[in-house]
Structure 1
């Protein structure tokens, strides 16, 4: 069944249940059906391509945490009580006026409204059109950025940004909370409380990671006009090495630890936030192929695995150039990005 058939059935369901389903926004319910159709379309695409299918998971009330209103004014209304200049309100069909604590001023024209639940907290997400850009003054500086685990970020001019390892710092508390959860009886009130404690710990780690990524990205766009980084495929890099029964993987435990460290570092989160801030600030962001950037000498161009002496040390076997391995890689990344930009401008 596709979206069109389900949307047609939804219309009849609402007509038969005026005090139930018809209370809620029709557009919001249609948006949920579109998400369902998108999930199944992605599933069948993976089947056709011969990839691991990953059948869509049923999401009950305990798993379904986001509701979307596709258009402001259709089942929802942002700033529904303008007579209150110091407070913001949103009106949701079937619920009424809800006060919102704004953490910043809303710019542009509100397009879509989403309500998201994270544990016991509720958040509202606004998608806006015509948001004015905030270009920053030019600095004339350029930088290549190498992503890592020992240091989260290293620039071509030798700046290191530490990896805070938020998940590792909370590992003991998370392990204790999970053990406590495992002892609880399913369906009990105590189990629900234990689930809430685990969710609260994960939410705190997520907020810490986002906060660090926002601060680091803002510092970068303020300092550099051109930022070059690797085109990383984090999902592929953190794929499990366990293999199959017929062809088991090797070094599975080591690879699992590396995957955990990469995900804890939050490379994808940082790069996404950096791209948004760079676009708003009028900065140029360039992505390059990451292959061999850590093995190539930034001075003579000699590429060999033996050049990488250790995690932190780089020593070229051809010319003897020695440098911090991450700084050497960031220099190669910057050089490749500038070459791509010059080639694009020449074309």
Structure 2
């Protein structure tokens, strides 16, 4: 859209793209189009920031109609209206400018005041995502307990109380079906109807894994939030941890296949999804979540504080070379994480 080609209030006037294409661009909400332009500006701003900092730039990828999956309306009532037909209480509708009233299957009651509305496509399904203000917290009764979490691959997480949260490995369990679907996709001719159907099958398998991972994260996070007032976890840099070990032509990496398998296992565990859901549930329930530096938590004895690489005998076995304390390595690390988190909280309160 041309700079300055608009009227008061930001609405485009004569000379704008919308005015010249009334049946096309002019049909849709200008606020939604502005939100899309903000996303584009944000992507390029992040790109130039990475260039200035000397990191791998990653030029923003063009998203055609087959890749552009989300449309956002910054304000309810501006090009989009939630619950647009209140006179029909048996059903919920959302009105989209240029489309009309669309029936929505509402899976739970909306709380607070609807602020922004997004419509996103996942495979062949469409979802309406609401962002609400003035949502009241629902604090849970105090338990007086605190716990530390050590994230892992064998187990999704291990608590300082000695409990292990299972890692269902949803992606690994679906690997066979996904490989078959991917092979079938490669045999299809580009642009054909059969290829589009094959793409939809692959997308549906990935969407199912994503839903399974999110569902499991919600259940485990809810269990922790109900049982503990303070939850301490590692401040993980997952993007850095899952970088490829291939290196460059001048300096090729080592153990590339092993690192690739570890990266796949970390991403399959879904640490990022779990920690994000945990933070949201803890905030709503009035719980406290603390992230601590994970450095040396797996090498330090939780009893005497001795830190040495030799303390970690195997992936699961820990024995302190100074005091002889033996424990499961992940449980020992979780206790160190809990201690570090409580120390941070005490220091913050003292300040």
TM-score interval (norm. to shorter): over 0.9
What is the match of residue 217 of structure 2?
213
Map Cα deviations across residues 112-156 of structure 1 (whole Å, 9 max, x no partner): 000000110000100000111010000111100110000101100
How far apart, in 1, do the equivalents of 2:131 and 2:288 lie?
Answer: 24
**Distance in structure 2 (CA, Å) of the matches to 1:187 and 1:251:** 39
**Number of corresponding residues:** 345
Residues 231 and 290 of structure 1 are in contact (CA less than 8 Å); yes or no, is this contact kept in structure 2?
A: yes
The 5-angstrom pairing of residues 1-347 of structure 1 reads 5=3, 12-347=16-351
How big is each residue's C-alpha offset from its partner over 1:166-225, in whole Å with a ceiling of 9 and x where there is no partner? 000000100000000000000000000000000000000000000000011111110000
Given that residues 6 and 33 in structure 1 are in contact (C-alpha distance below 8 angstroms), is that contact kept between their aligned partners in structure 2?
no
Question: What CA distance in whole angstroms lies between the structure 2 residues aligned with 1:187 and 1:50?
Answer: 39
Is the CA contact (8 Å cut-off) linking 1:7 and 1:30 kept in structure 2?
no
Indicate conservation of the 8 Å contact 1:72/1:113, yes or no: yes
Q: For each residue in 1:311-336, what CA deviation from the matched residue of structure 2 results, as whole angstroms up to 9, or x when unmatched?
A: 11111111111111110000000011
User: Could you tell me the TM-score, scaled by structure 2's length?
Assistant: 0.96
For 1:80-114, what per-residue CA distance to the aligned partner results, in whole angstroms no more than 9, with x for missing partners? 01112221110000000001111111000000000
Alpha-carbon shift at residue 26 of structure 1 (Å): 0.6
Q: Which moved more, 1:336-345 or 1:185-194?
A: 336-345
- Residue 17 of structure 1 deviates from its aligned partner by 1.4
Unaligned runs of 5+ in 1: none
TM-aligned CA distance change 1:10 to 1:172, over 3 Å? farther
Two-structure CA RMSD over aligned residues (Å): 1.4
Q: State how far apart, in whole Å, the 1-side matches of 2:100 and 2:177 are.
A: 39
The CA distance in 2 between the partners of 1:230 and 1:243, in whole Å, is 27
Q: Provide the rounded CA distance (Å) in 1 between the counterparts of 2:350 and 2:47.
A: 42
SS in 1 for 2:127: strand
